[in-house]
Amino acid sequence: MLHEDRLFPADADTRSVARRLFTEVEKLPLICPHGHTEPLWFSKNENFADPAQLLIVPDHYVLRMLVSQGISLESLGVPDHTGSAKQTDGRAIWRLFAENYYLFRGTPSRLWFDYTLEFLFGVTEPLSAQNADSVYDTISSCLAEQSFKPRALFDRFNIEVLSTTDACTDDLAAHKAIRESDWQGRVVPTYRPDAAIDPDHPDLLSNIEKMGALTNEDVSTWQGYLNAHRERRAYFKSMGATATDHGHPSARTADFSPAECEALYAKVLAGDTDAAEKELFRAQMLTEMAGMSVEDGLVMQLHPGSVRNHNQSIFETFGRDKGFDIPKAVNFVDALHPLLNKYGMDKRLSLILFTLDETTYSRELAPLAGVYPSLKLGPAWWFHDSPAGMMRYREMMTETAGFYNTAGFNDDTRAFPSIPARHDVARRIDCAFLAKQVTEHLLAEEEAHEIAVDLTYRLAKQAYKL
Amino acid sequence: MLHEDRLFPADADTRSVARRLFTEVEKLPLICPHGHTEPLWFSKNENFADPAQLLIVPDHYVLRMLVSQGISLESLGVPDHTGSAKQTDGRAIWRLFAENYYLFRGTPSRLWFDYTLEFLFGVTEPLSAQNADSVYDTISSCLAEQSFKPRALFDRFNIEVLSTTDACTDDLAAHKAIRESDWQGRVVPTYRPDAAIDPDHPDLLSNIEKMGALTNEDVSTWQGYLNAHRERRAYFKSMGATATDHGHPSARTADFSPAECEALYAKVLAGDTDAAEKELFRAQMLTEMAGMSVEDGLVMQLHPGSVRNHNQSIFETFGRDKGFDIPKAVNFVDALHPLLNKYGMDKRLSLILFTLDETTYSRELAPLAGVYPSLKLGPAWWFHDSPAGMMRYREMMTETAGFYNTAGFNDDTRAFPSIPARHDVARRIDCAFLAKQVTEHLLAEEEAHEIAVDLTYRLAKQAYKL
Amino acid sequence: MLHEDRLFPADADTRSVARRLFTEVEKLPLICPHGHTEPLWFSKNENFADPAQLLIVPDHYVLRMLVSQGISLESLGVPDHTGSAKQTDGRAIWRLFAENYYLFRGTPSRLWFDYTLEFLFGVTEPLSAQNADSVYDTISSCLAEQSFKPRALFDRFNIEVLSTTDACTDDLAAHKAIRESDWQGRVVPTYRPDAAIDPDHPDLLSNIEKMGALTNEDVSTWQGYLNAHRERRAYFKSMGATATDHGHPSARTADFSPAECEALYAKVLAGDTDAAEKELFRAQMLTEMAGMSVEDGLVMQLHPGSVRNHNQSIFETFGRDKGFDIPKAVNFVDALHPLLNKYGMDKRLSLILFTLDETTYSRELAPLAGVYPSLKLGPAWWFHDSPAGMMRYREMMTETAGFYNTAGFNDDTRAFPSIPARHDVARRIDCAFLAKQVTEHLLAEEEAHEIAVDLTYRLAKQAYKL
């Protein structure tokens, strides 16, 4: 089903170079420094449930495409916010997906899915309404096997290290269990404090309270609140974390005086902030987090610019992460100014920037990361984690930022089985990009081989201190 | 003059695939769901006037390029706002155009023009100052023939259906005459209410009055005004219309309470609105139109983001549509929020979005259309209705929206003779895009054949319910 | 080291066409209508200093990349704002650069540097830590030769004319000396009045005073201030200048009444302007400069949209032009409206627009320059003066603006030895772009040959009246 030259340029010379480069990196271990897999999978190591529950229901890429063509989330077995699902028959969900599989032509979901079907489950013919049932049966029987338990897959996927994303109030029990087990797989947490920072989060106050309870800090004061973060970061670090992650509506940062911060925090606690003050609090907290990264060495990731839960009725019925997050124009150059004036030249800070607004690639991000020692460029993100998206990323970033201000690839997925597929696409596109540079005589081929390994393996390890 | 492989990729393998795909779609009938041809041409069926009046004077692409190089609109025979033209000698206009034909190198106008010269008028050598007169004579004598009358051309072009764009106050007499004639050509109207909605339109009040007169509704009230639209839409529908079209400065929508709408409408009628209120009224009316589309099934087209009549002196002297409309950055994600919260999940709504701001392709439009069942993506529009423009459209839309959330091609032209040329370019570029996907093993060739037919024919028919 | 086919497309047919086109333009004289070389080099004609001082220390592209990887400006010999440098050992600076030369992979700096090493200094193996010293010695001994004096290089580079950029208060003594020398090289000044216009400039008032002193105008009045500009422009023109240049934070223009201008100017002189008024003064002055260009025929260049000196501590320690200028989103369509309404249709005005915001290429700049006779498009600027940057420029500009509304290439460099390298890249990319148009049958090859010469030579001469 999958051609060995997929994603390589059609031109014969360029394709030959791409092949040679790919041979070099194809088998390298996977570094997975950012994603949304569940640590519980690896601590419990239980077999995954039926194919639809593993591959369809939690995949917001798949859901959104089907919804866009008039298929309801109910019919796809998506539970409502109470956890109750109208469609619980995995086979029926799978059939609906298979009938509509043609919708994914031209999308990365198709690539990931075909790869997973072929290389994980041994399915060699394209999924269709006709073979939906037999493919479902094949996957079902695979999933029941020992060799398809999470740890076995982790090992089979050749994952060297995998970072999960964890609420800052999480006790990391699953991570603890993994560390204490006899399994050697390296799974580490990432400190994600949004829900204890964002005044727009419905549970902010209870999360702050939880931070206080976990650290014995007086979170009713600004300093106590900051100390609580410091201690939780230290705990995460002790459990293997090397990074924090921040998902904000914008990239806005701020640098207020302690007195101003105290006053703003008091308003946040009192629930007495307007939209502008909420934004300022988030902005200030990004700078505080950067300061703590200077102290404790945790790498900082910033994922801004997604308008979450764009449709009110879907949000009310089904909750978050159902495919209704839409990117928005982002300004980094002004937004990061306060943070960069304070910590931008400090080599102890490592801030990895992501964007959904590709116009910022050549206009803002490459120029910023191409001069500030604290900045690195995260890979093409989300909608742009795709062949053409990755190619645009390299084409628009490289000339100003070079290769060595980028942070390698991360798969950023909730869909564990798709991890190898995603790395496969990234490696192929990087080889295709480099091959073009070789045939156009911008790089010597031996340089390209070295860069290919850097992009695939070394840069991610370095950037995330893994 | 025109090479049979024009617009196909240079790589030999990819070109072979493109050729095979093109063979499949080259002869398919033309679906023309959106454009600006005159229904009178087809009701009267009179021979067209001289070559310059047909091909130069009304073509704003041609005018703007010549003006940019210092040639005056006067010398090109463009009438001023009173209808009086300084240059009325078609041959002189034609010579001026021919002398400057080199200016169009690299532009789609050149492609369209060469195609029209060769395939419509049998001219086989490139237009130049030297052959200007003989080409003029050739075209003139063609235009005088029976076989060059509008209906004959419509049939020769293999047009299956053509939608015009008509003011909501139009009596559709020409459409009526076409329907009552013995000619079988299918020409349908489109409901364009801007001039009866936009508070910035100089004739708004008289157009609203006309709406009242045509429908016997009391347009001094908000409900009467809405009813007048409802009735006019019904009339258009009875005359074959399947769609409405809305050209707004922005994509802003709103969802006010009936009381707020009444108050705003009263201010509009009183001519007592500031710029912000004018924008809000247009915004509210988009949502109202979407609601009526849910009721009556008319497909809704939105063409936002053009700053019309950028130069004041040209506008005062010559009026609209003289090449001085300039695109501007557009925000869809916030702008459409009110409308999409109200009707976005309703499958009865079909809203086709266009943009002149290509940054919105991958950032906003593909993510929106890739999840909302009510949204479809119109083809690359106006300045981007060009080979590279269309290629960027596919490259930036497909990975997130797929092929099946796009609405096929429309020619959007005032230049009737160029219709086949425009479809030819679109079909070739789509085949070139698909061929690259085949040679890079993202699609099987047989899938690409199916998609090529979808993009050329099926999707436009479906999206516009034609 | 440099392949003769570098930057040409890999496809064999396209590459052949590119080669043939390049043969046509490779040896054409260099037109250098905009840049930042020092006229003193050519008036004094002294040998350049050591390699590091010539090639590393003043090159902000080189500095920024090294800084981004944690190398300090101090260690690169960059003097602080008092002029004192911590590292003065050229060889040490050079070694540091050579060790980190791999960072420039994929960047235009690498291309320019390799070209300069090979074609100017005869170095034929890639720069590395290993050969750093021997390459340094080679360059050093070259630089000491007669044939490496500035005038000799100017002649060897085949420069037909070179424009410098000079403060409006400059006495142009170096230019005078060049004109009065027996050397035939044509070096002309450009009128750059920013420091006597921008209320954010720290020396604005003393510069205005200087303008008064130089012209005997009463610069305490608005009319006197304008007259001082008129007279200085005339002086520059008498010294060979054909153009002015304006580096503004935005492209904003204004058209206030004389009374409003007087009041605003009075506030500027009193140092009593807020940020908005500063912006308005700059905006008004762009329109005034356009008006003077209509009078005196000087071509006007606008370089907007760079956020200068983004990092406060670097600026305070090292001053301007150290690589910390970051582009920002720009709006041309509204910003230029006042100026274009006043002078846009006047053929006596020639306004050349530059941008760092590539989103404006197809959205605003090509549509504007494709209709206004006063507008031309400057080449891809700064970060986009690179192979992929130039290719995007042609791909996004050409279909709407054509080739003949562009102003050819300029090297815009402070690095004199890199001038031939920069023209080499531009010529190759234009040939590559045109070759693709030929193999895709959009242009006949003989047309492409003519266009190649236009883009390389004729258009720059015409646009800048050189």
Q: Note the pLDDT tens digit of each residue in B205-255.
A: 999 999 999 999 999 999 999 999 999 999 999 999 999 999 999 999 999
Q: Is C411 contained in some domain? A: yes
Range of the domain at A118: 47-146
Q: Is C446 contained in some domain? A: yes
Residue B150, number of CB atoms within 10 A of its CB: 23
Over range B413-426, report the average pLDDT: 96
Domain ends where: A86, A121, A146? A146
| In a shared domain, residues A309 and A366 | yes
DSSP letter at C364? I
- pLDDT-derived band at A6 (thresholds 50, 70, 90) equals very high
| In a shared domain, residues B31 and B42 | yes
Over range A170-178, report the average pLDDT: 98
Asked whether the CA dihedral A222, A224, A230, A235 is positive or negative, the reply is negative
Residue A310, number of CB atoms within 10 A of its CB: 24
Asked whether the CA dihedral C453, C459, C465, C466 is positive or negative, the reply is negative
CA dist A395 and A369 (Å) reads: 15
On chain B, the residues whose CB falls within 8 A of the CB of A311 are 340-341, 344-345, 372
| In a shared domain, residues C266 and C325 | yes
How confident is the prediction for chain A on average, in pLDDT? 97
Do C311 and C64 touch, CB atoms closer than 8 A?
A: no
Beta pairing class for A351-353 and B375-377:
unpaired
Domain ends where: B148, B170, B203? B148
Report chain A's terminal Cα–Cα distance, integer Å.
35
Contacts of A79 (CB under 8 A, 6+ apart): A85, A318
On chain A, the residues whose CB falls within 8 A of the CB of C384 are 362
Do B182 and B176 touch, CB atoms closer than 8 A?
A: no
The segments of chain C whose pLDDT lies below 50 read none
Count up the domains in chain C and report the number.
Answer: 2
| In a shared domain, residues C30 and C90 | no
Kind plus residue range of the DSSP H or E element containing A16: helix A12-25
CA dist C444 and B403 (Å) reads: 33
Q: Tell me the nearest-neighbour CA distance from C11 into chain A, angstroms.
A: 6
Which chain C residue's Cα is nearest to B316? C341
Q: What is the pLDDT of residues B148-181, one digit of tens each?
A: 999 999 999 999 999 999 999 999 999 999 999 9
Which chain B residue's Cα is nearest to A323? B371
Q: Tell me the nearest-neighbour CA distance from A14 into chain B, angstroms.
A: 11
In DSSP terms, which residues pair with C375 in a beta bridge? C351
| In a shared domain, residues C260 and C215 | yes
Contacts of A452 (CB under 8 A, 6+ apart): A21, A22, A24, A25, A427, A430, A431, A434
- pLDDT-derived band at B1 (thresholds 50, 70, 90) equals confident
| Touching subunits for chain B (3+ Cβ pairs under 8 A) | A, C
Looking at chain A, the whole-number percentage of residues with pLDDT higher than 90 is 99
DSSP letter at C201? S
Q: Tell me the nearest-neighbour CA distance from C201 into chain B, angstroms.
A: 30
Of the candidates C106, C307, C356, the beta carbon closest to that of A398 is on: C106
pLDDT at B49: 85
Q: C341 vs B64: CB contact, 8 Å cut-off?
A: no
Q: B327 vs C364: CB contact, 8 Å cut-off?
A: yes
On chain A, the residues whose CB falls within 8 A of the CB of C68 are 369-373, 375, 401-402, 405
Q: What is the pLDDT of residues B396-418, one digit of tens each?
A: 999 999 999 999 999 999 999 99
On chain A, the residues whose CB falls within 8 A of the CB of B364 are 326-328
Domain ends where: C106, C128, C148? C148
| In a shared domain, residues C140 and C192 | no
Looking at chain A, the whole-number percentage of residues with pLDDT higher than 70 is 100
Kind plus residue range of the DSSP H or E element containing C191: strand C191-192
Mutate one of B371, B372, B391, B450 to test the A interface: name it (highest A CB count within 10 A): B371
On chain A, the residues whose CB falls within 8 A of the CB of C102 are 404, 447
Do A307 and A249 touch, CB atoms closer than 8 A?
A: yes
Residue for token pair 């004199």:
C416
Q: Is A2 contained in some domain? A: no
| Touching subunits for chain A (3+ Cβ pairs under 8 A) | B, C
CATH number at residue A84: 1.10.2020.10
pLDDT at A356: 98
Mutate one of A22, A310, A359, A385 to test the B interface: name it (highest B CB count within 10 A): A310
| In a shared domain, residues A104 and A185 | no
Q: Is B411 contained in some domain? A: yes
Q: What is the pLDDT of residues B43-99, one digit of tens each?
A: 999 999 899 999 999 999 999 999 999 999 999 999 998 999 999 999 999 999 999
Q: Tell me the nearest-neighbour CA distance from A439 into chain C, angstroms.
A: 6
Residue for token pair 């500035």:
C150
Q: B107 vs C441: CB contact, 8 Å cut-off?
A: no
Q: Is A7 contained in some domain? A: no
Structure tokens belonging to residue A74: 């109910």
Q: Is B132 contained in some domain? A: yes
- pLDDT-derived band at A192 (thresholds 50, 70, 90) equals very high
pLDDT(A385) > 90: yes
Q: Tell me the nearest-neighbour CA distance from A363 into chain B, angstroms.
A: 13
Q: C327 vs A11: CB contact, 8 Å cut-off?
A: no
- Measured in degrees and rounded to the nearest 5, phi and psi for residue A210 equal -60, -40
Q: Tell me the nearest-neighbour CA distance from A293 into chain C, angstroms.
A: 17
Q: Is B4 contained in some domain? A: no
pLDDT at C1: 87
| In a shared domain, residues C102 and C182 | no
CATH number at residue B275: 3.20.20.140
| In a shared domain, residues B223 and B81 | no
- pLDDT-derived band at A49 (thresholds 50, 70, 90) equals confident
DSSP letter at B406? B
Of the candidates A102, A356, A386, the beta carbon closest to that of B399 is on: A386
CA dist B293 and B236 (Å) reads: 13
Of the candidates A11, A399, A404, the beta carbon closest to that of C69 is on: A404
In DSSP terms, which residues pair with A192 in a beta bridge? A167
Of the candidates C67, C107, C327, the beta carbon closest to that of A373 is on: C67
| In a shared domain, residues B266 and B377 | yes
pLDDT at A1: 87
CA dist B450 and B427 (Å) reads: 13
Q: Is C5 contained in some domain? A: no
On chain A, the residues whose CB falls within 8 A of the CB of C103 are 402, 404
| In a shared domain, residues B89 and B219 | no
Secondary structure (3-state) at B56: coil
| In a shared domain, residues C105 and C173 | no
Q: Tell me the nearest-neighbour CA distance from C22 into chain A, angstroms.
A: 15
On chain C, the residues whose CB falls within 8 A of the CB of B390 are none
Beta pairing class for A187-188 and A326-327:
unpaired
Given its phi and psi angles, is residue A106 left (phi above 0), alpha (psi -120 to 50 degrees) or beta?
left
